[in-house]
Amino acid sequence: MFNRGRGRPLLAAAVVMGASKSAARSEVAKQEQLNFQRQQAADREALERQREEEERERRRQQDIDEGIERERSRTAQIEADRQYATISNAGGPGETYHPPSHPNYDPRAPERKKAEGHYCSECGNFCMFGDKFCSKCGFKQPAVELVGNLP
């Protein structure tokens, strides 16, 4: 009779012990699953932040490249305008135009009258009114009607 009473508390303790081990295992598995999910979420967030940073850096670099290209284009345009102005003025900026001294250029020559011709605006050579092109530089001369109005 004494033996029967003692066996049952042992059996009950073994059942409780087994149940607690099982509960502990399931709790550990549950915690591992939660930790795994948290780790995956953190990895996804880190990857997303890295992508956003790379995209910002790419856009920033593209903006810098476009700015450099615009500056180069503007500088090239300014240089082209400056060269065109230099060629058009036949001198640098701030200089006044003085016609080149050519042996044929003599605006005060008495033997040449305005009625006979005019001086080429490109090289300063004296050209006759009937000439379509300058005999020295080949520059196209203005029409006869327009030449009469020239000084």
Residue 26 has a pLDDT of: 87
* Of residues 110 and 140, more confidently modeled: 140
Residue 104 has a pLDDT of: 59
Give the start-to-end residue ranges of the domains of the chain: 1-97, 99-151
Is pTM beyond 0.85? Reply is no
DSSP annotation of 138 reads: -
Q: Is the pLDDT of residue 29 over 90?
A: yes
Confidence band of 24 (pLDDT split at 50, 70, 90): confident
Instruction: Return the sign of the alpha-carbon dihedral for residues 142, 144, 149, 151.
Output: positive
Residue 84 has a pLDDT of: 79
The torsion of the CA quartet 141, 143, 149, 151, rounded to 10 degrees, works out to 10
Residue given tokens 């036949």 in the structure block:
90
Over residues 20-38, the mean pLDDT reads 90
Residue 1 has a pLDDT of: 46
Q: What is the pLDDT of residues 70-91, one digit of tens each?
A: 999 999 998 888 887 776 655 4
d(CA 151, CA 130): 17
Over residues 105-116, the mean pLDDT reads 58
Mean pLDDT across the chain, nearest whole number? 78
d(CA 19, CA 13): 10
Q: Is the pLDDT of residue 34 over 70?
A: yes
Residue given tokens 């990895």 in the structure block:
43
Ranking 2-11, 36-45, 68-77, 79-88 by mean pLDDT, the lowest is 2-11
**Beta carbons of 96 and 84 less than 8 angstroms apart:** no
